[in-house]
Structure 1
Amino acid sequence: MASKSIKVLDWNDVLERAYGIGEQLTHSQEMRRYKEMRQEMETDREAAVLIESFNRLKEAHEEVERFGTYHPDYHTVTRRVREKKRELDKVPSIAAFKQAENDLDELLYRVSRVIADAVSEQIKVPSNNPLYELAGGGCGSGGCGTGGGCGCSAR
């Protein structure tokens, strides 16, 4: 009678392989581009001025947000935040950084998804892409739409 040998899980081996994957991700094209675009954005004067302005506006928005629509400046501040965000998105260095950030996030999601699926397709994997939640991997309630910020996680 042939007996099947069951391989005992060696946590050290699993962790070593995980660190190896992390090292590969650190040296990936997506990570290099992310770092490059972040550096470019951080040294862009126009971006710095707009980001500072946006952060001040965000603080004002957080203040009015505490009272919601009852605050007399709620709609004005909310509109100004949306306008400033659109202005930020038009700055080439910021747009390039956001694209690089999304590309890196996509890579991390896909690696996490492969690992999770190897264990069970029922395992949820967090994502910053709300489309993954719409594809059926999230909490199913529509949630926060961020794919993880509300405690839900997308597949």
Structure 2
Amino acid sequence: MSLDQVVLLEESLTLAEMVSSSSIAFEYKKSKYILEQDKQAQEMISRFADMKEKYEEVQRFGKYHPDFHTVSAQVRTLKRELDFHENIANFKKAEKELETLLIECSRIIAHSVSEQIKVPTGNPFFDESSCSGGCGSGGSCGCA
């Protein structure tokens, strides 16, 4: 390992510590803890996970499955309940803010090496790539 690599490793650890001790990370950890302690929210998440399994089973047969409409409606209803639960919504917001911070750090690091480096954002509308299916999609993606 060269001296440059050691310095780079130390700086990356410093950056990781800065992100981990940021107010955004603190809010994420706090909201995660609150969510984990919320019995009602955990019950709702568990019910949604069970219903999601049923939904995936129904989706294999589509509208021809006898429970297609019932299960689809129940999944949408449970999802709406999850989205409006205060602790779940707070956690999702904190999680998104932390994700945004990490993406921005990745983008700064990548672009400091080369503007040509693509940094996935997790959102295909904002990814800089012209590729919709990934470069492993059979060679038809059209990436330059």
Give TM-score scaled by structure 2 length.
0.81
Structure 2 residue 128 is matched with structure 1 residue 134:
no
Give the RMSD, CA atoms, in angstroms: 2.5
- Is the 8 Å Cα contact of residues 25 and 98 (structure 2) preserved in structure 1? yes
1:36-60 C-alpha deviation (Å, 9 max, x unpaired): 0011111112211211110110111
Q: Which moved more, 1:94-103 or 1:82-91?
A: 82-91
Q: Which moved more, 1:75-84 or 1:61-70?
A: 61-70
Q: Which moved more, 1:15-24 or 1:88-97?
A: 15-24
Q: Which moved more, 1:59-68 or 1:113-122?
A: 59-68
1:139, distance to aligned residue in structure 2 (A)? 4.2
1:78-105 C-alpha deviation (Å, 9 max, x unpaired): 3321221111011100000000000100
Give the corresponding residue for 1:67. Answer: 61
Given residue 39 of structure 2, which amino acid in structure 1 is its aligned partner? R
Among 52, 59, 78, which residue is 1:58 paired with? 52
1:122, distance to aligned residue in structure 2 (A)? 1.7
1:136, distance to aligned residue in structure 2 (A)? 5.0
1:25, distance to aligned residue in structure 2 (A)? 0.8
Give the corresponding residue for 1:22. Answer: 16
Give the corresponding residue for 1:85. Answer: 79
Given residue 81 of structure 1, which amino acid in structure 2 is its aligned partner? V
Paired residues in the alignment total 135
Q: Which ranges of structure 1 fall in alignment gaps of 5 or more residues?
A: 1-7, 145-149
Given residue 10 of structure 2, which amino acid in structure 1 is its aligned partner? E
Q: Which ranges of structure 2 fall in alignment gaps of 5 or more residues?
A: none
Give TM-score scaled by structure 1 length.
0.76
